[in-house]
Structure 1
């Protein structure tokens, strides 16, 4: 639905009030309107004197096809699920995926780039049931690019009657649409992730109902495999990509934010700095603090 339809049905104030009343949001926070999230349950209007007045948002949804109360949700669960197994940990957005596609079990087809996938699609090689394993797309491999360009092709194959899904250590911004996609797989291959052990034809099970992400391969066979490799030169060199080598090399895993510099909670405060200071003696934001973080 468009933003204006959501606003007409009750808008952000309606949503926030429903979440607060259902105990699904914390009220005790600071916001641009001051302390307390409930201040956002009101809407501003222009009064006759030209001054802003605030009114409570409507008690009822203006259109329950757009917004529903917490007592009558569209689904008993949220639109995101965590899936994990011998392929690692990933997230799936299932809010737009039909229930019939919440479980996909099909042979793997491996791709080392978006271009490889699109080349196979255009050549008519993907007219079958399969799970697309799009790997070497993590933060250390090539900066974790957006993969939404693959969604139309996968949607077309689904519409043609094939059972398809995608498993990737790459990123999607919510554009997976109606196709089941286990994304942000962590750890990625360059961090020793098991996507590098997948071989063409392996049966992959993506199960959003049980939270399972598995390659159905015998354990002894799985343990005997070597890690796949790929030539990533094209994504590392040219058009200034060399400037980002440091960020790729030192990136944390996707599920830790794909950050180049460590979060304060991850810093070991017992490690001495170059000049003998301890980290608890360093002022946040100082040159010493920055030096420590980058060296650590």
Structure 2
């Protein structure tokens, strides 16, 4: 399979020229308000000409993996009257160009703000795909969740729900609770009947389970997830562990997408089309608002096929 060509700022400029003509029409209005909005941005009066060009660019993508609206937003911020030389002094740049070699995967960088561009029919009060979550911390979290689900299936294969590929808060909480039960039972056995515990540890099966749980605890401590332990060092219940783990997942994911000082811009549309009357849904991604309570709220997030979906309204409440 041929390797995809690298997408650069020049790629976007060339697509704009191909779509709108070599003499690219200038943007007539000022749209700086998009960057400071945290809600719905309404197109200003007198923006009809700008929107016609925006609409032409909206479905154009340089290659697979890019979404609707990225090119159009790039044009909107680079081709205004005061941006005299959009190619040599761009306000908006392709994220992969700015963050080359970094673990940041934002779509665009506009005036040094990381901007993730989406085109979902619903608003930020619906589950919006952020991206693939695996590898966000070198794979440690994935190993921890694999341990949770493996032990849950060992205890009750018929009732175990969720997997590394697809889970929500409840499935993580259930699996963590089962791990707690096994861990505390083994700890009690070590205290009450050390010889029996020693006998069990000779069996490869029990030794593997005990080792997996110890590694899980060590990773919790390594990630400084102190809320997963009580003052005496004992682990708390599964729900508390789930809240801390999932908050950790979401915060790490936001470090990747949209990245520090990031925002989400959603053009509500479908099938490659966008309605001006819908305005633009803008969410400033403030990580300080991601609380344990928000993570626990029903349908605030889920995963499917290793991708994280977030309800930004609930998570950033």
Q: TM-score, normalised by structure 1?
A: 0.22
Query: Greater relative contact order: 1 or 2 (C-alpha under 8 angstroms, separation 6 or more)?
Result: 2
Q: Which has the higher strand share?
A: 1
